[in-house]
C-alpha cells in the first residue's frame, strides 16, 4: 500500500511556511509532506530532507524533482537526532520550521521485508535503515540475547503491553530450544503466552510487542528527546515545529518535551490536532495520529 501523508493540510498550515524560508522534514520517507513544503518555498527557499531509510529517500528525490520553481533541496540519510550537526554540515545555522512525522510509513510496514509487521513472515530486523550494519541492534538480537527482565521492560515501557512478563518469559523458554528468527515464530510465541480472550480482541495480540521492539531497535524515544533538545538552538525566532505522533507513548514524550521547553517555545496547540472524519474515511491508518505545534519565542 502506498503511503498517504497524514494530517497533511493541518501540518503544512501549522508550519506557517514563509516563501524563501528554510525548512526541515525530519522524516521525509517518499516525500509526501516535503512535496507540499517545497511547492510553497519557491526558488529562494531551502528544504532539508532527512530519513534513515535510503530507499525511501531515493524515491523522495524523484518526487521532489517534479516540483516547479523548486527550492534548494538537501538530502540527508541520517537520524534526525543529529539535526544540529546535519544543519551545521550544510552551513545552516537556524531554520524557519521543522516537521517530524514519527514512526514508520505504509511501505515500511507492508513491503520492506524488515519484519515490521506481524502479518508477513520476515526476518526479525525492524531497523529503519534498509541495510543495518553488523553493530546495529536488530529485533533478532533483542529476542535472542537480551535478558528476560529487559525484554519485559521494553514491552511494558514502550507499549504498555499488559502481558509483558508472560511474553518475555515465553521468549526465553523458546530460545533455549532454538533461536527465534522470523516474525511468525515470534507471533506464535506471543500467541502461546497470552490468554485466549486477548488473542481474539479487535487489535491484534502482537501489535504492542511489535511496536515496542521496533521502538527499542531504533531507540525512537531517545531520538525524539534529542530532536526536542535541539529545537531552541535550531529554530529561528518565530520558527515552528510540528510533530505528528501515532501512539500514546510517543505523544506523551512530545507533549511533555514541548512543555519542558516553555522558556523558549510557545505551544500553539493546546489540544492535539486529530484527523478529520473525511481523512479517516480515505485513510483509516491515520486513526491514531495526533499533531502538536509549537513556535520559537
Ligand atoms: C510516517 S513516515 C513519514 C511519511 C512522510 N511524512 C510522508 O507523508 O510521505 C516516517 C519516516 O521517518 C523515518 N524515521 C523514523 N525515525 C527516524 C529517525 N530517528 N531519523 C530519521 N528518519 C526516521 C522512517 O524511516 C520513515 O520513513
Domain boundaries, the chain: 8-107+220-296, 129-217
Residue 35, ligand 1, Cβ within 6 A:
no
Question: Residue of the nearest CA to atom 20 in ligand 1?
Answer: 79
- For residue 54, the surrounding DSSP H or E stretch is helix 54-64
Q: Whose CA is nearest to atom 14 of ligand 1?
A: 27
Backbone angles phi, psi at 101, to 5 degrees: -105, 90
Smallest CA-to-CA distance from 60 within 47, 49, 46 is with 49
Q: Is the CB of 239 under 6 A from ligand 1?
A: no
Closest CA to 294 of 246, 222, 229, 238: 238
Does 296 contact ligand 1 (Cβ within 6 A)? no
Query: Rounded distance, CA 263 to CA 283, Å?
Result: 37
Task: Evaluate: CB of 33 within 6 angstroms of ligand 1.
Answer: yes
Exposure b/e, 16-29, CB count within 10 A at least 16 = b: bbbeebbbbbbbbb
**Tens-digit pLDDT profile for the chain (297 aa)?**
678 999 999 999 999 999 999 999 999 999 999 999 999 999 999 999 999 999 999 999 999 999 999 999 999 999 999 999 999 999 999 999 999 999 999 988 988 899 999 999 999 999 999 987 888 999 999 999 999 999 999 999 999 999 999 999 999 999 999 999 999 999 999 999 999 999 999 999 999 999 999 999 999 999 999 999 999 999 999 999 999 999 999 999 999 999 999 999 999 999 999 999 999 999 999 999 999 999 999
Q: Which atom of ligand 1 is nearest to the CA of 81?
A: 19
Q: Is the CB of 51 under 6 A from ligand 1?
A: yes
pTM: 0.96
* C-alpha cell of residue 174: 523458546
Q: Quote the pLDDT of residue 237.
A: 98
Write down the CATH superfamily of domain 129-217.
Putative methyltransferase TM0872, insert domain (1.10.150.170)
Atom of ligand 1 nearest to the CA of 128: 25
CB 50 near ligand 1, within 6 Å: yes
Q: Is the CB of 250 under 6 A from ligand 1?
A: no
pLDDT at 131: 83
pLDDT of residue 1: 61
Return the pLDDT at 3. Answer: 83
Which stretch of DSSP H or E encloses residue 267? strand 265-267
The Cα–Cα gap between 224 and 290 comes to 15
Closest ligand 1 atom to residue 60 Cα is 9
Fold entry, domain 8-107+220-296 = Rossmann fold (3.40.50)
Q: Is the CB of 52 under 6 A from ligand 1?
A: yes
Amino acid at each position: 500500500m502506498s503511503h498517504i501523508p497524514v494530517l497533511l493540510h493541518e501540518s503544512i498550515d501549522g508550519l506557517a511556511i514563509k516563501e524563501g524560508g528554510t525548512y526541515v522534514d525530519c522524516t521525509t520517507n517518499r516525500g509526501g509532506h516535503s512535496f507540499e513544503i517545497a511547492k510553497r518555498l519557491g526558488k529562494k527557499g531551502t528544504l532539508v530532507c532527512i530519513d534513515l531509510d535510503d530507499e525511501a529517500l531515493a524515491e523522495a528525490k524523484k518526487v521532489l524533482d517534479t516540483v516547479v520553481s523548486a527550492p534548494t533541496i538537501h538530502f540527508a540519510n541520517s537520524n534526525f537526532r543529529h539535526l544540529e550537526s546535519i544543519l551545521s554540515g550544510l552551513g545552516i545555522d537556524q531554520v524557519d520550521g521543522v516537521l517530524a512525522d514519527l514512526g514508520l510509513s505504509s511501505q515500511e510496514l507492508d513491503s520492506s521485508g524488515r519484519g515490521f509487521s506481524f502479518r508477513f513472515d520476515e526476518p526479525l530486523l525492524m531497523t529503519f535503515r534498509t541495510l543495518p550494519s553488523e553493530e546495529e541492534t536488530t529485533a533478532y538480537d533483542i529476542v535472542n540475547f537480551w535478558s528476560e527482565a529487559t525484554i519485559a521492560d521494553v514491552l511494558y515501557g514502550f507499549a504498555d503491553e499488559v502481558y509483558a512478563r508472560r511474553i518475555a518469559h515465553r521468549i526465553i523458554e523458546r530460545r533455549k530450544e532454538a533461536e527465534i528468527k522470523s516474525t511468525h515464530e515470534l507471533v506464535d510465541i506471543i500467541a502461546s503466552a497470552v490468554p485466549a480472550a486477548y488473542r481474539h480482541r479487535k487489535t491484534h495480540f502482537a501489535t504492542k510487542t511489535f511496536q515496542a521492539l521496533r521502538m527499542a531497535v531504533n531507540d525512537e524515544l531517545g531520538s525524539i528527546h534529542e530532536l526536542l533538545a535541539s529545537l531552541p538552538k535550531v529554530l529561528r525566532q518565530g520558527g515552528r515545529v510540528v510533530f505528528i505522533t501515532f501512539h500514546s507513548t510517543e505523544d506523551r514524550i512530545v507533549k511533555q518535551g514541548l512543555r519542558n521547553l516553555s522558556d523558549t517555545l510557545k505551544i500553539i496547540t493546546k489540544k492535539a490536532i486529530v484527523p478529520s472524519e473525511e481523512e479517516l474515511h480515505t485513510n483509516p491508518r491515520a486513526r491514531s495520529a495526533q499533531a502538536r505545534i509549537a513556535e520559537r519565542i
